[in-house]
Amino acid sequence: MKCAEHIAQDAVATCQTCGRGLCTECTSIFDRPLCEPCARQENRSAIAHNEKLIGSAKRTLVLPAILFPVGLTLLIANGAVHDVSTFFRAVVLAGLLAMTPAGWSFLNRYFTPGGGYIFLTARWLNAFLHLTLSVLLGIVVGPYQIWVSIRDIAELRRINAGILAGGYV
């Protein structure tokens, strides 16, 4: 079998995707034996997958970014802010509001908000307890979730830049 790219040279391996022959020079380009068209396709797929993950991480950041200024604006508009100390309290409350969805999603992994109770009073009590725990968990989980999202976006962008710099896209 001859190399698909360098017809004069004998193949020493085959492409793991399509089975085309590869010479020594072609096998040294990538970590595993791949022909150039298959490498391009894999890189395009990897970039598309990373872009989806970046979009998901960005969506994680949207709700806190909306809830914080909305909560702060509502507290200021309702006259809850009179001086620096009340402004600090308003910032803390707006931060709690912004982090609550992170606590809610974390808590939903283990408990359902309705609880499956037959009586309406028990369901409302369970939902209130769920919301209260979400606010408390949001204090810890929210900043961590924001940090992880920002870290993932930066890492995925770095990976995509590396793939693009390799030239096989």
> For the segment 59-96, what is each residue's pLDDT rounded down to a tens digit?
999 999 999 999 999 988 888 888 888 899 899 999 99
| Tokens read off for 111 | 């408990």
Q: Are residues 55 and 3 in the same domain?
A: no
Q: Are residues 43 and 110 in the same domain?
A: yes
Q: Are residues 73 and 116 in the same domain?
A: yes
Q: Are residues 29 and 39 in the same domain?
A: no
Cα 48 to Cα 16, 53, 107, 121, 159: the distances in Å are: 21, 9, 31, 48, 12
Tell me the pLDDT band of 169, cut-offs 50, 70 and 90: low
Q: Are residues 93 and 27 in the same domain?
A: no
| Tokens read off for 52 | 């989806």
Q: Are residues 158 and 88 in the same domain?
A: yes
Q: Are residues 43 and 12 in the same domain?
A: no
> Between 142 and 120, whose confidence is greater?
142
Structural domains of the chain, count: 2
Length of the chain: 169
Q: Are residues 64 and 10 in the same domain?
A: no
Q: Are residues 79 and 1 in the same domain?
A: no
pTM of this prediction exceeds 0.85: no
Q: Are residues 21 and 61 in the same domain?
A: no
* pLDDT over 80 at 113, yes or no: no
Report whether 18 contacts 38 (CB < 8 A): yes
Distance CA 78, CA 61 (A): 27
Tell me the pLDDT tens digit for each residue of 28-43: 887 888 888 888 898 8
Segment 110-132 mean pLDDT = 81
* pLDDT over 90 at 151, yes or no: yes
Give the residue numbers spanning the domain of 14.
1-33
